[in-house]
Amino acid sequence: MKIAVIFGGKSSEHEIACKSAVTILGWLDEKKYQVIKIGITKSGNWLKTDATLEEIKDMTWSELESNREVLISPNPQKKEIVFFENNELIKEKIDCVFPVLHGEHGEDGDIQGLLELAGIKYVGPGVLSSACCMDKSFTKQMALSTGIKMAKHVLIRKHDFEDGKEKTAKQILEKHNNRFPLFVKACSSGSSVGTSKATDLYGLIRSLEASFNYDRKVMVEEMIDGREIEVAVLGNLNPVATMPGEIITAGEFYDYDSKYNNPNSKTLLASGLTKEKIEEFKEAAIKLYKALDCEGMSRVDFFLNKDDEIIFNEINTIPGFTGISMYPKLWEIEGLEGPRLVDRLIELAMENGNDK
């Protein structure tokens, strides 16, 4: 099988996508697959690369002279990539794509739509599911049908905010019963990029200004005082879920720096949960996975509040595969180690085809 791993991308999560790609590429068995590496630069240039894992890891891959610009043919009869080599046009058929593109243009349905047009099978949820799961406002709308609790939240659009910043902030605060702290999140950003904590009115205004640098829609949520719990889900029509994992953050909250730069943050198996609560988490994760029409893989994030209630936070359709990422760690605990996990994800993509 020819597997194209597409990594990098134009989003603010470019570096994390490259780190995830290093892990996945290291797990792909060269006896089973012919692996083609396609990196997308921060400026959006698509390059077929022979970069080593070390070159991808240290972010020097895009500078290699041996890189060739590459295109995916939109013709579904071809199912191929096209590039020049030694002044000769080369066409190479692809069986499956493993998109490792966190955030904008990768996790939001864009790359999935291109692959649908090209007739090429791919790992992970389809166009609609990816788009809705990426946008926190649509995620919450679709999750309502499950009856699973969510944090109280208010959606703000950029043009409304710019018409009156202080007025908008006061309206938000009123809807949250004049209670701080509040979390301000760019609707379609991942890895906590564009997310901050506001503790007073003018801090709320500053947080909104910062989040609107990443998106035209921003979600303002109440703070949930509790444990951060994540569940990994795998499958198409009959998905299965892992034991819950827990995030122990070294920062004030689990922001980008705490996730990727602070070695004191930890991801581990959640402790002290009853069998009933573990099953409740697993059932909630699968219910949300189905409600949001996910396929292949997703990581479902929750809080467990002080009243022992499960609160849905968000869902990630291309979860991280870095050294600290919860998704592969949870499956490893379940006995599905990295190489077998990527095999299974490719099997699910091939089984599902392009009828997503």
What's the token pair of residue 297?
């893989």
Whether the Cβ atoms of residue 296 and residue 225 lie closer than 8 Å to each other: no
Classified as helix, coil or strand, 183 is strand
Burial 41-53, CB ≥16 within 10 A → b, else e:
beeeebbbbebee
pTM: 0.92
Q: Which amino acid is at 267?
A: T
What's the token pair of residue 139?
């995620």
Instruction: Spell out the per-residue pLDDT of the chain, length 356, in tens.
Output: 999 999 999 998 999 999 999 999 999 999 999 999 999 999 999 999 999 999 999 999 999 999 999 999 999 999 999 999 888 999 999 999 999 999 999 999 999 999 999 999 999 999 999 999 999 999 999 999 999 999 999 999 999 999 999 999 999 999 999 999 999 999 987 657 778 999 999 999 999 999 999 999 999 999 999 999 999 999 999 999 999 999 886 555 444 454 445 455 566 888 899 999 999 999 999 999 999 999 999 999 999 999 999 999 999 999 999 988 999 999 999 999 999 999 999 999 999 754 44
- Strand 46-49 and strand 34-40: pairing? antiparallel
Write down how long the chain is: 356
Whether the Cβ atoms of residue 231 and residue 299 lie closer than 8 Å to each other: yes
Whether the Cβ atoms of residue 250 and residue 324 lie closer than 8 Å to each other: no
Residue 356 to residue 352: CA distance in whole angstroms: 7
Whether the Cβ atoms of residue 34 and residue 3 lie closer than 8 Å to each other: yes
What structural domains does the chain harbor? 2-122 (3.40.50.20), 133-148+225-352 (3.30.470.20), 153-222 (3.30.1490.20)
What's the token pair of residue 279?
């099953």
What's the token pair of residue 283?
């059932």
Residue 263 to residue 249: CA distance in whole angstroms: 10
Residue with tokens 């953050």: 249
